[in-house]
A and B are shown apart, each in its own frame.
Chain A
Amino acid sequence: MSTLAIDKAGPSRKVKYGSMSRDRVWALRWSYFFLVLFAIFFLTPPVYMLITSLKSSAEISAATNPWWVFHPTLSNYVELLSSNQFLRFFWNSSIISIIVVIVTMMISIPAAFALARMKFWGSATLATGVFLTYLIPDSLLFIPLFKVLGGVQELTGITLLNRWYVLVFIYPTLTVPFCTWIMIGYFASIPKELDEAALIDGASWLQTLTRIFIPVALPGLIAATIFAFTVSWAQFLYPLVFTTSVDQLVLPVGITTTLIKGDVFNWGQIMTGALLGAAPPLVIYAFLMDYYIAGLTAGATKG
């Protein structure tokens, strides 16, 4: 009897263990399958852009295999990079994005610190309000914003519309709420005792922020910075609405308005411009990716 029982128990345990690891193998296979699927799905457009950017206009309109370059040429790149207009777009985008990032951080960090740490009347409601602001789509806001800025222009006599710097005032309405929200989560995950220790050590609120919170929350800060930069760099609707003169345009708007003339699409240069425009965020992501992920997850799980 007893040997029979042992015989029965032995293999049954083994099968169970084996099936568990087989589950893992299958889970891995499925995850790879979907990862590859998603990679193909998301990488196809940039690859197609790269291929097209290396073609001449004649080859693009010819009825050949669109996925192969028969006569590779860098003429699109040379033309764009030697065009003052394109460099102007690039410059406008860069300066606006950098200023917006700085402005956003100057507002978001103290705001998040105050909302996360200083308990004042209505602070919790305000924190939720900040997030709700972010949920309002910009397509709802651009007409009222246009009216407001037009009104300000009339009242003060300062030209705001059709100037690149107007975007420096408008973009933070998109970036500040989200960055503040990220930073609130991140600051909230810092143990309360840390600022109490700093307080007892003789630090003022400002010193606690600059010498304890900012260094400790650096990953979250970098995540917010990347977000602010990406949003300002890729923003399309607001610059389309608020700027019209060619020398005031930013990259995404500039490419579509100057390279599409009537129904003539200069596809080679459009693709080249888009690729070159995608480069700065890509470079920033590549360098700060580890920080970015750490920032997003730490704020989310520890809060």
Chain B
Amino acid sequence: MADVALRKVVKRYDDVEAVRGIDLDIADHEFIVLVGPSGCGKSTTLRMIAGLEDISDGDIMIDGDVVNDVPPKDRDIAMVFQNYALYPHMTVAENMSFGLRLKHYPKAEIKARVTEAARLLDITDLIDRKPKQLSGGQRQRVAMGRAIVRNPKVFLFDEPLSNLDAKLRVQMRIEIKKVHQKVRTTTVYVTHDQVEAMTLADRVVVMNKGKIEQIGTPNELYHKPATRFVAGFIGSPAMNFIPCRLEDVGGTLQIRLTDRIAFALPPARAARYNALPRTDKLLLGLRPEHLTESHAHLGPGVESFDTVLDVTEPMGMETLVYFGLDGTPICGRVDPNAGAKDGAPMRLAMDLNNMHLLNEATGVVL
């Protein structure tokens, strides 16, 4: 068990900077998820923590010790790979005990640790099989078992669920969470799937183009995104961004979306945004769940408007509705009984109490 710290870590391949100065503190026992689109540098960061990639600049510390030049085997870490990387010629037990055997642990202890890990992962009866006789989910468990028996300071997961089908992925996600609750080892987990990130992490690190966009708990990222990238990346369906500007009408601050549609801002929001120049090009960020069917009695800060739906997607517990505002495609979530139909007009309501306002040029949430 240990904490991990990254200080201004940089990774350069020739003249391309894959990771551009990352600072990150991971506390003991913490489950950190690095998430971002492909090529954002998240896997490179993980591999640098593992010692599989050299660091071009900066420091990586495990348990307070700088490990920049420490080889992987001496970092006391364990890694689970996307394609499992099980040794094909060894049985499950041999795969799991390989690291311990290399370190000449006593046989009895190896057996005890393997048995315990197998029990934890529910693979006791597979222990004598070869990897090719296992299903994808079972292989993933063995790969995790191989990490657990080592009892390392840090677990590293590199997109471990990407090769599994959707149903198994959900199942294994819960499995991983359970394992972490039991062993409490500091974990760094890389994924491109924001749902995995949200469900597993104590804190999520959103990365983009080799930099950290934002670090926070899943709820913080969801409700208080710092940038347009985070706002758009976290949450599914993604947040809507509607071009808008602020204007003063008769002493109240209004947000104008189109020539026809403009709403007065709720007092709390008006106070927050009042200092902004009225000429700035802005974006209204609104999650689909804050764009619902209109009711007869709307609460304060909830404004209704009429539109014509393009497409509807019934999901069962809700129906997603898609429409356009001045050419901007927008998604809303309405009650399945609200009568939404493809191509039909509908009156929708916008909950401006949950709105975000972004600077279009900088992408910063204001």
Residues of chain A touching chain B, judged by Cβ–Cβ distance below 8 Å, are 191, 193-194, 196-204, 207, 211-212, 215-216
Q: Is the CB of B102 within 8 A of A207?
A: yes
Among residues of B, the one whose C-beta sits closest to the C-beta of A197 is B85
Whether A203 contacts B102 in the complex (CB less than 8 A), given A196-B79, A197-B81, comes out as yes
Bound CA–CA A197/B52 (angstroms):
10
Residue numbers in B under 8 Å from A199 (CB-CB): 52, 71-73
How many whole Å from A154's CB to the nearest CB in chain B? Answer: 48
**Given known A191-B85, A193-B83, A193-B85, contact A200–B102 (CB-CB < 8 A):** no
Find the A residue at minimum CB distance from B89: A215
Chain B residues, Cβ within 8 Å of A203: 73, 98, 102
Q: How many whole Å from B171's CB to the nearest CB in chain A?
A: 23
Q: Which among A191, A197, A207, A211 has the highest number of chain B CB atoms within 10 Å?
A: A197
Give the chain B neighbours of A200 by CB distance below 8 A. 50-52, 72-73, 77-79, 99
Contact status B102-A194, CB under 8 Å: no
Question: Least Cβ distance of B346 to chain A in Å?
Answer: 43
Complex contacts, B71 vs chain A, CB 8 Å:
199
With A and B bound together, what is the CA distance between A215 and B89 in angstroms?
Answer: 7
B45-74: CB near A (< 8 Å → 1, else 0) gives 000001110000000000000000001110
Extra A-B contacts (6), CB below 8 Å, given A191-B83, A203-B102, A215-B89 = A191-B85, A193-B83, A196-B50, A196-B85, A197-B85, A203-B98
Which 10 A-B pairs give the minimum distances between C-beta atoms? A193-B85, A201-B99, A202-B73, A197-B85, A215-B89, A193-B81, A202-B102, A200-B72, A199-B72, A200-B79
- A197 with B89: CB separation less than 8 A: no
Closest to A201 in B: B99
Query: How far is B143's CA from A191's CA once the two chains are assembled, in angstroms?
Result: 15
Given A191-B83, A193-B83, A196-B52; A201-B146 close (CB under 8 Å): yes
CB contacts (< 8 Å) of A216 on chain B: these are 87-89
Closest to A193 in B: B85
Nearest B residue to A204 via CB reads B73
B88–A197 CB distance below 8 A: no
B150's partner among A201, A211, A215 (CB-CB below 8 A) is A201
Q: How many A-B residue pairs have CB under 8 A?
A: 56
Among A191, A196, A201, A215, which residue has its beta carbon within 8 angstroms of that of B102?
A201
Contact code string B264-307 (vs A, CB < 8 Å = 1, else 0): 00000000000000000000000000000000000000000000
| Chain A proximity of B269: nearest CB distance (Å) | 50
- Shortest Cβ distance from B83 into chain A, in angstroms? 6
Across the interface, name the chain B residue whose C-beta is closest to A215.
Answer: B89
Of all chain A residues, the one with the shortest Cβ separation from B156 is A200
A202 near B103: Cβ-Cβ < 8 Å: yes
Interface contact B87-A202, CB-CB below 8 Å: no
Which of A194, A196, A204 sits near B87, CB closer than 8 Å? A194
Q: How far is the CA of A212 from the CA of B77 in the complex (A)?
A: 20
- Residues 87 to 113 of chain B near chain A (Cβ within 8 Å): 87-89, 98-99, 102-103
Task: Report A288 CB to chain B, min CB distance, Å.
Answer: 18
CA distance A201 to B98 in the complex (A): 7
Closest residue on chain A to residue B82 by CB atoms? A193
Listed residue (B77, B78, B88, B150) with the most chain A CB atoms within 10 angstroms of its CB: B88
A–B pairs, 6, beta carbons within 8 Å: A196-B50, A197-B79, A197-B85, A197-B146, A201-B102, A202-B73
Q: Which residues of A contact B77 (CB under 8 A)?
A: 200
- Which chain B residue shows the least CB distance to A195? B85
A193–B80 CA distance with the chains assembled, in angstroms: 10
Chain B residue numbers with a CB within 8 Å of A201 are: 73, 98-99, 102, 146, 150
Q: Which of A191, A200, A211 has the most CB of B within 10 A?
A: A200
Instruction: Tell me, rounded to whole Å, the shortest Cβ–Cβ distance linking B148 to chain A.
Output: 13
Q: How far is the CB of B362 from chain A (nearest CB, A)?
A: 39
| B83, A212: Cβ atoms closer than 8 Å | no
Q: Which residue of A lies closest to B84 (CB)?
A: A193
Complex Cα–Cα for A154 and B146 (A):
59
Cβ of A194 and Cβ of B99 under 8 Å apart? no
Q: How far does the alpha carbon of A288 sit from the alpha carbon of B261 in the complex, in Å? A: 80
Closest to B80 in A: A197
B99, closest chain A residue (CB): A201
Nearest chain B CB to A120's CB is how many angstroms away? Answer: 14
User: Within 8 Å CB of B79, what residues of A?
Assistant: 196-197, 200
Distance of A207 Cα from B52 Cα, bound (Å)? 17
Cα of A207 to Cα of B102 in the assembled complex, Å: 9
CA distance A197 to B50 in the complex (A): 10
Give chain A residues whose Cβ lies under 8 Å from the Cβ of B150. 201
Q: In whole angstroms, how far apart are the Cα atoms of A81 and B88 in the complex?
A: 46
CB distance from A62 to the nearest CB of B (A): 60
Q: Please report the C-alpha to C-alpha distance between residue A216 and residue B99 in the assembled complex, in whole angstroms.
A: 18
**What residues on A are CB-neighbors of B86 within 8 Å?**
197
CB nearest neighbor in B for A217 = B89
How far does the Cβ of A192 sit from chain B's closest Cβ, in whole Å? 9
B142 to chain A, nearest CB (A): 12
Complex: A216 Cα to B132 Cα, angstroms: 13
B81 CB, nearest partner CB in chain A, Å: 4
**CA distance in complex: A216, B85 (Å):** 12
Q: How far is the CA of A265 from the CA of B216 in the complex (A)?
A: 91
Q: In the docked arrangement, what's the CA distance between A220 and B99, Å?
A: 26
Contact partners of B85 in chain A: CB under 8 A: 191, 193-194, 196-197
B87 touches A212 (CB 8 A): yes
The distance from the CB of A299 to the nearest CB of chain B, in whole angstroms, is 16
Q: How far is the CB of A214 from chain B (nearest CB, A)?
A: 10
Query: A296 to B263, alpha carbons, bound, how many Å?
Result: 72
Q: Give every chain B residue within 8 A of A215 (Cβ-Cβ).
A: 89
Max chain A Cβ within 10 angstroms of own Cβ: one of B51, B78, B89, B103: B89
A196 to B71, CA, bound (A): 11
* Alpha-carbon distance between A203 and B77 when the two chains are bound, in angstroms: 13
List B contacts of A198 (CB < 8 A): 87, 98
- A219–chain B nearest beta-carbon distance, Å: 11
> Do B99 and A202 touch (CB < 8 A)?
yes
Whole-angstrom distance between the alpha carbons of A93 and B132 in the complex?
A: 41
Q: Roughly how many angstroms separate A207 CA and B72 CA in the complex, as a whole number?
A: 14
Distance in angstroms from B95 CB to nearest chain A CB is: 9
